[in-house]
Amino acid sequence: MRTILDALRHHATATPSRVALRTEAGEAVTWAELDARAATVARALVTQGIRRGDRVAILASNSLVWPLADLGALMAGAVSVGLYPTSSAEQVAEVLIDCGARLLVLDDETQLAKVRAVRDRVPALETVVTWGPAGADAVPWERWLDGARGELPAPPAGEDDAVLIYTSGSTGVPKGARISHACLVASAQSIAASLELTPADTALGFLPYCHAAERMFGHATRLWVGIEALLVSDVSGVFAAAATYHPTLFGGLPRLYEKAYEAMRAAESSAATADEARDRVEVARLAHFGARVRRVTSGGAALPVAVAEYLDAHGVRVLGAYGQTEHLCVAMHRPDRYNFTSVGLPMPGTEWRIAEDGQVLVRRSALTFSGYWGREDETREAFTDDGVWLQTGDLGSLDAEGFLTITGRKKELIALSSGKKVAPLPIEAALTDGPWIEHAVLFGEGRHFVTALLTLRGETLRGWAASAGVPGSAVDWRSHDAVRAAVQAQVDRVNATVSRPEQVKRWVIASEPLTVASGDLTPTLKVKRREVTARYASLIAPLYD
């Protein structure tokens, strides 16, 4: 099988009645139905005039429209382009203009309103198809499919672009990473081998489909192996879905595991006896992961060691992974070879080395992207001068057993006025490896010492106030002497493990959490340093007085 479309056709033929996708509304779509419905979408696209290589964009939550539109686009020979459902109208325009999409599929009035606000700035966009309510400027999904008369083109080749995955934009304007059909297959094979996946596995699809992890670790891998998935439209409902669906696979971002950890710790601390504590922790575990989970993975950022160790001790072994949109399958722990301080071992098909400056380099292979859409210069800059090695931009080290540890971000080094370079990521990760601090953002560029903007964990704050009998609100509690002492203790613990120039000399607590909605975090929950620096400049400046 050369593409995931070949895998889809194989499942549709070999196991036509097996369920491929389920929705929260109770709809079950078999492999045969998924193949047939995606083919209808492909014919509608061809009827619309979409040709091989044209871009088809999708702006929707994790509903059935996403995989249908995506697979239909691939069958039509088009390039599928995902947009984050949380994108602003301006961000939607940015991506649509950059990729030159001729057709856009979206799912509801909220997304349609965004497109209407910028439609006059996107001249290449000819057609908008909406799964939900439409208007004069959009075609209803069912009516659009009714007109499907086109013949399917020849299957795409492995080297053809399959999808554009736009980087999350934590350091600048998002770029579309070109992922070929061959790259999708190679990535799915590498993931399946690392986790020992089988068609008997089941999973949840809850991260945005446009994110590299859901698109490749999730969607493509499930298609390749033949894994059934429940689509969860809102990440806030993921634990409830797991508790009722009982998936065997659970892959998420660190914050999800931190929430599960906090809930399990709270259940444990509320018990009167050791037996009761054990029972309550088990109930909390089942409420977050279900009863059948056998593989749990985390990526996107560092998972605090304390969280990983606690979950492992209570039956949830979280296997950390590391990769980038440009080469997703870099490192992962294995079920029988793992630890909680590194990002893992090389995944099948990946070769790496550490450059003289400490940067992690990954050999170009079938697992590597084909370049940035419309950005030849930036594509060349992504690789070493000989074009052989992808420059990850991350600093790392290898231990005697071959495990890779990420020690910092080359492009995010803070240059102090003393000339000392400080890698903020490991220090920020260490600061959040405890009960009080949820986010930490370091500052100090051009200054003579490091400072930090901190946000606190709401559950810890509320628990402390309740146990201490302190009235008021979170705003009052953040300035309480006992809270500040606890936070300082956590900062002191981290400061004791780093060099003097790397120590956080002063810090300030933000008045509200960093969120995606506020623009402080990317959709994958990474800190947008530029935005946070600008927004909280008035809080940071006094720290240097």
**Residues 538 and 487 placed together within one structural domain of the fold:** yes
Mean of the pLDDT values across residues 234-255?
A: 93
Final residue in a domain of this structure, among 367, 385, 411: 411
Kindly state the percentage of the chain with pLDDT values over 90. 74
The answer to whether residue 160 sits within a structural domain is yes
The tokens for 160 are 């053809």
Residue 500 pLDDT level (bands cut at 50, 70, 90): confident
pLDDT at 482 over 60: yes
Query: pLDDT tens for residues 354-413?
Result: 999 899 999 999 999 999 999 999 999 999 999 999 999 988 999 999 999 988 777 777
Structurally, the chain folds into a number of domains equal to 3
**Residues 82 and 179 placed together within one structural domain of the fold:** yes
Is 156 exposed, middle or buried, given 0-12, 13-18 or 19+ CB atoms closer than 10 A? buried
CATH number of the domain bearing residue 395: 2.30.38.10
Averaging pLDDT over each range in 158-162, 234-238, 479-483, which range is the top one?
A: 158-162
The answer to whether residue 247 sits within a structural domain is no
Supply the pLDDT for residue 538: 93
Supply the pLDDT for residue 168: 55
Residue 230 sits at φ, ψ, to 5 deg, of -100, 125
**Residues 526 and 503 placed together within one structural domain of the fold:** yes
Supply the pLDDT for residue 418: 66
**Residues 88 and 124 placed together within one structural domain of the fold:** yes
The answer to whether residue 111 sits within a structural domain is yes
Supply the pLDDT for residue 170: 39
**Residues 400 and 460 placed together within one structural domain of the fold:** no
The answer to whether residue 206 sits within a structural domain is yes
Final residue in a domain of this structure, among 172, 205, 225: 225
**Residues 370 and 497 placed together within one structural domain of the fold:** no
Lowest mean pLDDT across 7-21, 57-71, 195-209, 472-486 = 472-486
**Residues 48 and 27 placed together within one structural domain of the fold:** yes
pLDDT at 37 over 70: yes
Mean of the pLDDT values across residues 58-81?
A: 97
User: 484 vs 75, 490, 497, CA distance in Å?
Assistant: 58, 10, 20
CATH number of the domain bearing residue 211: 3.40.50.12780
Query: pLDDT tens for residues 38-53?
Result: 999 999 999 999 999 9
**Residues 217 and 352 placed together within one structural domain of the fold:** no
The answer to whether residue 231 sits within a structural domain is no
Query: pLDDT tens for residues 153-172?
Result: 999 999 999 999 998 543 44
d(CA 115, CA 128): 9
**Residues 188 and 72 placed together within one structural domain of the fold:** yes
**Residues 419 and 406 placed together within one structural domain of the fold:** no
Exposed e or buried b per residue across 15-49, where buried means at least 16 C-beta atoms within 10 angstroms of its C-beta: eeeebbbbebeeeebbbbbbbebbbebbbbbbbbe
Q: What is the domain range of residue 393?
A: 326-411
pTM as predicted:
0.82
Mean of the pLDDT values across residues 430-454?
A: 92
The answer to whether residue 500 sits within a structural domain is yes
**Residues 84 and 160 placed together within one structural domain of the fold:** yes
77 or 446: whose pLDDT is higher?
77
The sign of the CA dihedral 387, 390, 393, 395 is negative
pLDDT at 465 over 90: no
CATH number of the domain bearing residue 539: 3.30.300.30
The answer to whether residue 331 sits within a structural domain is yes
Lowest mean pLDDT across 5-19, 177-191, 244-258, 491-505 = 491-505
The tokens for 525 are 């929950």
30 or 457: whose pLDDT is higher?
30
- Half-sphere exposure at residue 457, Cβ-oriented, CA atoms within 13 angstroms: 20
The answer to whether residue 316 sits within a structural domain is no
Final residue in a domain of this structure, among 225, 260, 283: 225
208 or 27: whose pLDDT is higher?
27
Mean of the pLDDT values across residues 75-100?
A: 93
- Half-sphere exposure at residue 101, Cβ-oriented, CA atoms within 13 angstroms: 29
**Residues 59 and 172 placed together within one structural domain of the fold:** yes
